[in-house]
């Protein structure tokens, strides 16, 4: 489960209750319920960064849904390894593309047999019953009609030239690490060595690429390819966002030295 519902309200618990009522043998894992409110891109990135590590047959239910109660459809996606359930706003797509999309179906409330539906809580009333249906090995085709016109969301892509990469910070984690949209292959294309120049917010700094945070001195600003596979700007035992003043959405320029 992934959502922007937070932990102080009953929303995540009520979705779990619905799932367990329908599929009591399910094991429910929380990816995060602390996605920034209404931030579909942050939710999509977080979901895409973890899907590889779950076992075959997993049902991923994600709800970051500013369009709840409108004509926005609910969808389910099948892949060779897992399923995805959530709103048709692009949230599921980067993760689903990573796993391979076999089919996308629009959720039919009548077909799946959901009960009374609130206009503001489709996570509990629609997505949780569909996720539970799949978790107990219900037929995917029973969810609703197959569609091709689902919303396709792509995470921001860097622009790579011979010597530079124009990218952006797409996530800031709870440690203050600044995760960019620049992957290892992009760094290879500009032939970076052990040090790079990074420019953002009219600032330019030379920082070392380290294998991990602990290879830098305490308090050192460094760059590393993190567990997500993307370049991170970090401070060993510190907060890179406070150190640099950069944050999610900040555009950066990376150059080889």
Amino acid 88: pLDDT = 98
- At 75, the pLDDT band (50, 70, 90 cuts) reads very high
Kind of pairing between the strands at 203-209 and 195-200: antiparallel
Q: What percent of the chain has pLDDT over 70?
A: 98
User: The dihedral of CA 238, 37, 131, 147: what is its sign?
Assistant: negative
DSSP character at residue 36: P
Amino acid 163: pLDDT = 87
**Using one digit for the tens of pLDDT, what is the confidence trace for 216-249?**
999 999 999 999 899 999 999 999 999 999 999 9
Dihedral Cα 47, 50, 56, 57, nearest 10 deg:
-30
Amino acid 100: pLDDT = 97
pLDDT, averaged across the chain: 94
Amino acid 113: pLDDT = 65
Tokens 């689903």 found at = 96
At 86, is the secondary structure helix, strand, or coil?
strand
**Using one digit for the tens of pLDDT, what is the confidence trace for 99-141?**
999 999 999 987 776 678 899 999 999 999 999 999 999 999 9
Domains of the chain: 2-143 (3.40.50.10790), 159-256 (2.40.30.90)
Amino acid 236: pLDDT = 96
Contact 168, 56 (CB under 8 A): no
Contact 144, 106 (CB under 8 A): yes
- At 184, the pLDDT band (50, 70, 90 cuts) reads confident
């Amino acid at each position: 489960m992934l959502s922007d519902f937070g932990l102080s309200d009953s929303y995540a618990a009520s979705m779990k209750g619905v799932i367990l009522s329908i599929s009591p043998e399910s094991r429910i894992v929380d990816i995060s319920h602390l996605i920034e409110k209404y931030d579909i891109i942050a939710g999509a990135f977080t979901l895409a960064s973890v899907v590889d590590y779950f076992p075959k047959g997993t049902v991923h239910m994600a709800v970051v849904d500013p369009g709840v109660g409108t004509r926005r459809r609910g969808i389910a996606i099948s892949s060779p390894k897992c399923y995805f359930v959530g709103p048709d706003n692009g949230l599921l797509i980067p993760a689903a593309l990573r796993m391979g999309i076999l089919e996308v179906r629009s959720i039919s409330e009548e077909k799946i047999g959901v009960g009374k539906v609130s206009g503001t809580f489709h996570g509990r009333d629609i997505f949780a019953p569909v996720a539970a249906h799949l978790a107990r090995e219900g037929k995917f085709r029973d969810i609703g009609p197959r569609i091709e016109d689902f919303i396709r969301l792509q995470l921001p892509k860097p622009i790579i030239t011979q010597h530079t990469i124009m990218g952006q910070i797409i996530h800031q984690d709870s440690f203050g690490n600044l995760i960019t949209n620049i992957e290892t292959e992009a760094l290879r294309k500009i032939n970076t060595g052990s040090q790079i120049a990074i420019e953002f917010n009219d600032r330019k700094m030379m920082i070392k690429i380290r294998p991990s945070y602990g290879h830098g001195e305490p308090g050192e600003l460094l760059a590393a390819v993190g567990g997500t596979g993307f370049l991170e700007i970090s401070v060993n035992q510190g907060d890179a966002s406070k150190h640099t003043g950069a944050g999610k959405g900040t555009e950066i320029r990376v150059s080889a030295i």
